Amino acid sequence: MTGGTEATRAAGAPGPLAPLAGKVALITGSARGQGEVTARRFVAAGAQVMITDILAGEGAKVAASLGDAAVFQELDVRDETAWAAAVAALRASFGRLDVLVNNAAIHWIRPLLEDNAADLDRLLAVNLRGPFLGIQACVPLMLEGDGGSIINISSIAGVKAFRGHGVYGAAKWALRGMSKVAALELAPRIRVNCILPGAIDSPMLPPGAAERVSAGTPMGRLGRSDEIAEGALYLASAASSYTTGTDLVIDGGSTTGP
Ligand SMILES: NC(=O)c1ccc[n+]([C@@H]2O[C@H](COP(=O)([O-])OP(=O)(O)OC[C@H]3O[C@@H](n4cnc5c(N)ncnc54)[C@H](O)[C@@H]3O)[C@@H](O)[C@H]2O)c1
């Protein structure tokens, strides 16, 4: 495993063109969607990235397309043993970890009275237990190095009520709460922040949602994964060195008002 692309090696120390030079990131759920785009953005910014997902074929392809700047590790975020294996692999491949993006999640839209406890547990296992296990597994390796930045992908459904988002919203509100406690407990060496995307054009978006959501958004369109990746890059890099315990809302203005 070597460090970054020719361009980032030439760039050397972190700077405006390579703000993540010398940094290592683990991104969950990065075989597709926002996680994949964030991984690609981080590599372009000079980082080495561990792509992780339960979609092994897709994840391996994404990592292969990034050359020696990325590796793939199969990681079901619900599985504590798999987290330990991922951290061991990080140690072996890179010897450090600077950025953890807890991005993996599942989603559905269903009225509360039609949902059920088994599905509640299933969603919480991915969307809340996953980031919890990730923080526990990754922080020790971050502390062995220069500290780091943890970015938890919540949602505007974690700050505002949306019909059909009782279970998903509960997990995203909880993730924001856990992030703020982690920010308190892990400062000053590790910063912990959330991103709250609005509706983003990714495989998670339910069919037919695009037109309805676009009409209700001041910006008049869906968000793009690269717009979330830019937020993640900001929170991952030294540009946000005094930012912890906060929520970065990237939603085209949709939570601003009626
Ligand atoms: N797309 C949106 O409109 C939207 C809006 C707000 C928030 N978000 C959040 O953004 C994040 C990224 O979502 P996306 O839009 O890219 O969706 P996506 O469905 O494309 O990506 C989610 C990824 O997580 C992976 N995943 C699912 N279960 C997993 C598990 N147990 N272990 C490991 N990986 C698992 C999937 O395989 C997939 O690659 C999620 O946290 C989501 O809740 C999305």
Residue 199 near ligand 1, beta carbon < 6 Å: yes
Question: Does pLDDT of 204 surpass 60?
Answer: yes
Domain map (residue ranges) of the chain: 6-250
Residue 59 near ligand 1, beta carbon < 6 Å: no
- Taking the centre of ligand 1 as the mean of its atom positions, its distance from the CA of residue 102, in whole angstroms, is 10
256 conformational bin, left if phi > 0, alpha if psi -120 to 50, beta if neither: alpha
Range 235-254 average pLDDT: 98
pLDDT score of 5:
43
Q: What is the mean pLDDT of the chain?
A: 94
* 234 belongs to the catalytic site: no
Sheet containing 190-197: order of strands: 70-74, 48-53, 24-27, 99-102, 148-153, 190-197, 247-250
- What's the CATH class of domain 6-250? alpha beta
For 202-229, the DSSP string reads STTSPTTHHHHHHHTSTTSS-B-HHHHH
CA 227 vs. chain centroid, Å, equals 13
Question: Does pLDDT of 44 surpass 90?
Answer: yes
pLDDT in tens, 61-105: 999 999 999 999 999 999 999 999 999 999 999 999 999 999 999
pLDDT in tens, 133-164: 999 999 999 999 999 999 999 999 999 999 99
Residue 26 near ligand 1, beta carbon < 6 Å: no
- Helices 80-93 and 130-144, interaxial angle, to 10°? 30
Q: What angle do CA 102, 232, 30 make, to 5 degrees?
A: 45
| 132 burial type by CB count under 10 A (0-12 exposed, 13-18 middle, 19+ buried) | middle
